[in-house]
A and B are shown apart, each in its own frame.
Chain A
Amino acid sequence: MSHFDEMTVLLHLDGQLDAEQERDFPNHLSSCEACRNLLQVLQKENIWLQQAFSSDEESLPARLREVPGQTETAFPWGWAVGLALAATGIYTLWSGIVDPWLTQASEAGFNQGNVLTMLFFSGAFWGGWDAMQSMIEFLSMASVAIAVLWLLRRRWKRFTVAAALLVASLGMLTLSPAARASDVYHGDPNYTLETGQEVHTDLVVMAQHTRIDGDVDGDLIAFSRSITVNGHVKGDVLAFGQDVRVNGPVDGNIRAFAQSLELNGVVGKNVMAWARELDMDEKTRVGGTMTLGSADAQLDGQVGGDLLALTETIDLNGTLGGNADIRGQRLRIGPNADIKGQIKYRGGRQPVIATGAKLASPVGVLSRGRPRPNYASPGFYWRQILSWAAALLFGILLFMLAPMFFNEVETAADSKFGVSLGLGLLFLVATPVAAIIACFTIIGLGVGITTFLLYLIALYATQTFIGEWVGQKMLGAGAGSGAVFARLALGLGVLHLLRMIPFAGRLIGFVVVLWGLGALVLAIHRRLRPLLTTAAV
């Protein structure tokens, strides 16, 4: 047999010969010294080349010791865009929403310390679900909370979302009015402040049934199934209960969250109430404004300021010093009504006005239901842009707070579309129900409110997860903050555009919420699973 050529030996060394060619090798090599030598020397040459190529006299140049993409200089556009958007977002939030909102709130008699109540009544509940989308003031709170948590994260190496949620819940609980109290009573099971007794500080009561016959020098804060106030309260009344009855004079504001609320006395400042049924007796006098969210409201008394009401049915049969803004299904104006301002009414049925009623001007009836988006108005697009900027800011903060978790939610959204939708629907319905049920027990109230707030944050966050997903489909999956911000910006932009489509836009918005919420639940479940199994063992 003739000698192997260099090519064949080389291919043999690299394992590239087929079985038939390979078979001849051992026999020939054992008998042919020349080929053996060639094989050896080529083998040596391989090693010689490998050594020459990988040995290193040069160290890594200094300019390569800086990690690219980690410093600002390497990826300036990502940060520049991110910071500019964040600044725009913060400016927008402050000048457009937070500032006027705070002004409004202080007009309505809130001091800034009472943020939770303010959020609870004027934010989440007052506007109802329809207003949620435009509820950017809520977003500002969430964003600030997230920014604070993000700052904490730097000190806290092993920071997880679970811990964040825990901190948030604890924060909400400590924020609750009870923590600021000077006098706290746990009724056993009932609490009564007898006639003639006087409490000289704020009074906080948690009991089955609460009865205040004596006087309270400061605020009265009560968590109770039934609350009756007959005495004189010189501060505010903050009542959470099933049946709330206020007969005695209150010098400050009344804020109540109740199933039924009865007002029979004199209120110095404002009333803000979220109650299924509201009954205001003709003897009642409210010095300031009245803000209501209720199913059934009967107003026979006197209100000095404006009336703002979101109710199913409302009967106006008293004196109103200011204007009224009413949204509801049915408005009746009784014969004793004396309305000195204007009435704006947006509702299902035409208002019914009794013959004896005195109105300063005719009732302004606005178009039924929500106004359609006005596509011709530039303001509409400006609001869309603001909404986009706010969502982007929120998404960026969320991403900075928990990048891993953000990624996990997105993975869940990507891989489990159907499951996400189903879970999303389940949790969309079940969470508020659970939160409301929790609110009915005294201890559960904090948990209920916290759950509800987290739920709202989660609903808002869904668009950022899905927006990121959309961005990823369009721009590809690059790592790094700059790429994530760009994806978020684009994805959220696309979602906003889609939501502007008449009719179909709402459906798309709904699917985004379901899908994102489901993915979020899946990701949380995956995070908690190891914890749960450890706990079970």
Chain B
Amino acid sequence: MDGRTTSAAMNDAELAEVLSRVRAGDANAWGELYRRYAPAIFRFCRRALPTREDAEDATTEVFMKVRQKLGTFDSSRPFSSWLYKVASNHCWDLLRRRRIRQDLETEDAEALPLEHPQPSQLERLQAEHANKEVREALAKLPDRARMALVLRYYTEMSYDEIADALGVRRAFVGVLLLRARHQLRDILRQGGAEVALAAGGK
């Protein structure tokens, strides 16, 4: 399933109507909007942030922001893109603030050369790991790598939007994504090795 669509998709006219009612302060319309989009935003926050509690808090905060900023939303553009933009800005801010507190993340790994992948190995990796394991691996990635992958493969943002959200040059987005993929693969491979080791050691 595409991450951007919601379980009960609203058509454009319906959405526009609901939005204008929300702007006018209609609490029911706000509830409707929230219920339609909350699952997708929660899932996004769950991927973008390290813990479930963080994701729950962030979901509420994102919707409060949405409510405040709804006046700035340009209705000629897709609402879900805007929503994800608000969500990604919020999550990224949260992560960045924590990172400053926890001292700067070492980004030295990004200077290392990447080895060319073997298609057969990649195929095996994909076959061996279930969705859940991939998500667990994702949670172990450094913030920026994780964020880049989520923005690209969950919210399907363009390179421009990702560059904007993460505050990097557009030309760097490709590199960021590639490295993030490599890191994810490494974690999955290591995880598999650890499991194998643990099994063998018994």
Contacts and interface: CB of A to CB of B under 8 A. Distances in A.
Interface of A: 5-7, 10-11, 14, 16, 34, 37-38, 40-42, 44-46, 48-58, 60-61, 63-64, 67-70, 74, 399, 403-404, 406-407, 472, 476-481, 483-484
Contacts, number: 148
Interface stretch (B79-87, B101-109, B115-123): B115-123
Interface stretch (B17-25, B91-99, B192-200): B17-25
Contact of B64 (A53, A68, A481): A68
Categorize the interface residue count of chain B. Answer: 35 or more
A42 B119 CA distance: 8
| A7, A53, A74, A477 interface centre (most CB from chain B within 10 Å) | A53
Contacts of B20: 404, 407
A78 to B, nearest CB: 11
A44 B123 contact: yes
Q: Is the interface of B mostly helix, strand, loop or mixed?
A: helix
A391 B96 CA distance: 44
Nearest to A405: B24
Contact of B47 (A7, A53, A484): A53
Contacts of B76: none
A399 B181 CA distance: 52
Given A55-B1, A67-B31, A477-B71, A404 B178 contact: no
Nearest to A56: B43
A57 B46 CA distance: 12
Contacts of B30: 67, 69-70, 479-480
A472 B149 CA distance: 37
Given A54-B2, A60-B39, A16 B174 contact: yes
Contact of B24 (A57, A63, A69, A403): A403
Given A55-B1, A403-B26, A480 B67 contact: yes
Contact of B154 (A50, A70, A403): A50
Interface in B128-184: 131-132, 134-135, 138, 149-150, 152-154, 159, 174-175, 177-178, 181
B134 A478 contact: no
Q: Is the interface of A mostly helix, strand, loop or mixed?
A: helix
Nearest to B23: A479
Given A45-B126, A48-B126, A484-B25, A58 B46 contact: yes
A38 B68 contact: no
Nearest to B69: A478
A49 B122 CA distance: 13
A61 B123 CA distance: 34
Contact of A67 (B34, B47, B119, B175): B34
Nearest to A48: B126
B2 A480 contact: no
B119 A40 contact: yes
A489 to B, nearest CB: 15
Interface in B21-74: 21-27, 30-31, 34-35, 38-39, 42-43, 46-47, 52, 56, 59-60, 63-64, 67-72
B114 interface: yes
Contact of A479 (B70, B134, B138): B70
A51 B55 CA distance: 20
B3 interface: yes
Given A49-B134, A56-B43, A476-B68, A70 B123 contact: no
Contact of A54 (B25, B69, B122, B154): B154
Contacts of B119: 34, 37-38, 40-41
6 contacts: A49-B181, A51-B131, A61-B42, A70-B30, A479-B68, A484-B25
Contacts of A40: 119
A64 B60 contact: yes
Given A54-B43, A406-B24, A479 B67 contact: yes
Given A68-B64, A477-B70, A481-B25, A16 B117 contact: no
A479 B52 CA distance: 28
